[in-house]
Structures are given as C-alpha cells and as structure tokens.
Structure 1
Amino acid sequence: MSMADSFNDYHKWEQHLAEVKLPKWDELPKFDLYMDQVVAYVNDTLGPLDVDSVTPAMINNYVKHNIILAPVKKKYQVMQVADILLIGLLKPTYSMDTIRQGMDQVTASLFPKRAYDTFIDLMLAGLQGTLSTDAATNLNDQMMKIAVNAVLDKMKSEKLLALTKEIVKPKPVEQK
C-alpha cells in the first residue's frame, strides 16, 4: 500500500466518522432495558466509532464501583444508558475516576439531559470536523470540549498509526 492510498483510506475513514449518528437524550430508549438490551444498544450505537465493546461484566463493575447507579429490578433507565454511552466514548482516553468526576462536575450545574446533549452535540461536531476552536463560555463546556478533542485525537492518532504501519514496518529497537 502506498502513502497516497493510505492517505485516501484515512480520508474515507474521516468521512465515515462524519456520518456517525449518536443519540440525543430524547432519542435514547424510553423504556427500561435489561442488561443484554443495554449491551446490544450501546455496542450498536458506538460500533461505528470502533471503540471497545461494552460487556455485562464491565457494566456490573461500573455498578459495583459506584460509577453508575444500580439497576432497578435488573432494569437500566435512560440515565444509566446515557452514562454507559459516555463511558464507552471516554474510557479509551480517561480513567474511570476521571470520567465519573467529570460527569459529576458537569451535572452539578447542568441537568443530566442538558449535559448529555451538550456533550453529544460537541462530539458530533468533532466527528464532522465542525467543532469550533473558539473558547467556550464556561468551564463545564470547555471541559467537555477538551474531552471531545482528546477522544478524537486518540482515535485519529491510532488510525494514522495503523495505516502507517501498513506502509512501513518499524524495525525493532536493538538492545546494546
């Protein structure tokens, strides 16, 4: 594969990202979901972004460590589904403690629905390449904007690394 072919592949991948749809709060399931339904919904939603799949064990771990609220009668509500979607987006870049602290901080001054929708709007703008470079008007929005940029930068750098490895195989470092 040539450098030009790889660059075209990267450009196609960016175009694919621009077409990804992420649900706003009002588009999330309106009814409570069992674990297998949550896993399927989250993985279907985040799958086009090539992020790691969410598993029942992971979700149980989030509940056990108070990262998300426990299900009610084994059913997850819209708030928990929104949290799991956000965790799925953020966990490749941030520690679970940082994610929970950030979510707590943002929702301390914004209702969860508004905070979630703001983050999703920023994420979609980033995926489409239209995220404003202007400074945000408040600390919460700036924190979310930086988080979106960090997630996207990590995704893009990993894609570029994978494509460049297809062109030139790096030589192992020799110990002397």
Structure 2
Amino acid sequence: MDELHSEILEWTESLVDFHLPRWDELPELDLYMDQVITLIDKYASPIIQSEKHPLLTASMVNNYVKKGLIPPPVKKRYTKRHVAFLVAITLLKQVLTISEIKEGILFQGHVIGIRQAYNLFCEEQEKAIQHVCLYATGKSVSAEESIPTEYLAVKAATAAFANKLLAEKVIEKEKSYLQGEANEK
C-alpha cells in the first residue's frame, strides 16, 4: 500500500502547477481546426488521459457547431471565443451531458458575460483539482466560502470533474497494485 500512496502523491504533485489559460492568455490569432485540436490537447492532456477519453476531434467540433454550443467558424477559422468554449466543453463533457453544458454556458454567459464566465470556469476548475489533490494527500482544506447561487452549477460541475479525475487515478493505481501483488504470489 505504501507504493500506491507514493504513486498517488506523485500524481498530485504533478498537478500542483496545473493551469488553464485565462481569456487574455488564449491566442489572439484565428486558428484552423487542426491548430485548435492541438491547442485543446495541450491544455487538457495534463488532466485527461487521452488514451481513455478522446479530447477533441474535428467531428466533435462540427457536432458542437451543429448543436449550437459554439458559433460556426468564419472561413474555416476559429477565434479566441471558440477556443474558450472548447476548453470548457472538453472538460465538462467528462461529467455533464452536451445539453447540460449548453445550458450552463448560456446561463453563465448571460449572467456575467463569456469572458468572465470562462475565467470563472478556469479558476474553479483549478481550485477543484487542488482541493482533490489536498484531499488525496490527507491535507486539510479550509472551510468553503459562501457561494453565490448563480455560481453553484459551475462550482459543482468543476468539483465533479476533479473528483472523477481522482477516482479514475486511484482505481487505475489500485488495479496496478493488485496485479503486482497477484504476480508476486
């Protein structure tokens, strides 16, 4: 079990500096589909195992346009707004349905605007991952601050993703640990 614990500690340490780009850090230049997919992969690959979950494909992007989650590209080029939507969708689809994501994006965009909603999502996702890392390592977490009602959905969704991430990692490591024990016998 010590090996399992040290692997979980190592994993949590790899996430200490996890950062999602804020609105002002997203590319200013319009991008083609393959560039967008590469960028989303770069942003999400530290936390989503791409061999288990395809991060983003051209057909996914096309479906998101058809379903009204993101606006259509202009002359096959995607803007900062598209990238922000795709970052959020890529992470949220791990725990929410596409229709739930669409409703959440529409709501948050209406309440505080797309830029602020995207930055809030990034901040909350990072906090949730840090919280899960603290929980996984047995460190205490300070009492939560009061959460405004209009932020409850984003808070819950980002925490759900981070907890799912932890559960997957622990199960993966437990499976490896048990297989190692079985091989030793």
TM-score by length of 2: 0.84
Structure 1, residues 87-121: CA drift from partner, whole Å, max 9, x if none?
11111111100111111111111110011111111
Measure how far apart 1:132 and its partner are: 6.2
The answer to whether residue 160 in structure 2 is matched with residue 150 in structure 1 is yes
| Aligned match for 1:121, one of 100, 120, 123 | 123
Measure how far apart 1:167 and its partner are: 2.2
Alignment length, in residue pairs? 166
| Aligned match for 1:14, one of 7, 12, 15 | 12
Question: 1:77 — aligned with what?
Answer: 79
Please give the alpha-carbon distance, in whole angstroms, between the structure 2 residues aligned to 1:50 and 1:115: 22
Q: State how 1:1-176 maps to structure 2 within 5 Å.
A: 3-51=1-49, 52=53, 53-129=55-131, 133-136=144-147, 138-168=148-178
Please give the alpha-carbon distance, in whole angstroms, between the structure 2 residues aligned to 1:21 and 1:42: 13
Please give the alpha-carbon distance, in whole angstroms, between the structure 2 residues aligned to 1:36 and 1:146: 31
Inter-CA distance 112–80: structure 2 relative to 1 (3 Å threshold):
same
Equivalent position amino acid for 1:72 in 2: V
RMSD of aligned C-alpha atoms? 1.6
Percent identity of paired positions between Structure 1 and Structure 2: 30
Q: Which runs of 4+ in 1 moved over 3 A?
A: none
Question: 1:172 — aligned with what?
Answer: none
Gaps of at least 5 residues in structure 2 are: 132-140, 180-185
- Once the two structures are overlaid, the 10-residue window that deviates more, 52-61 or 108-117, is 52-61
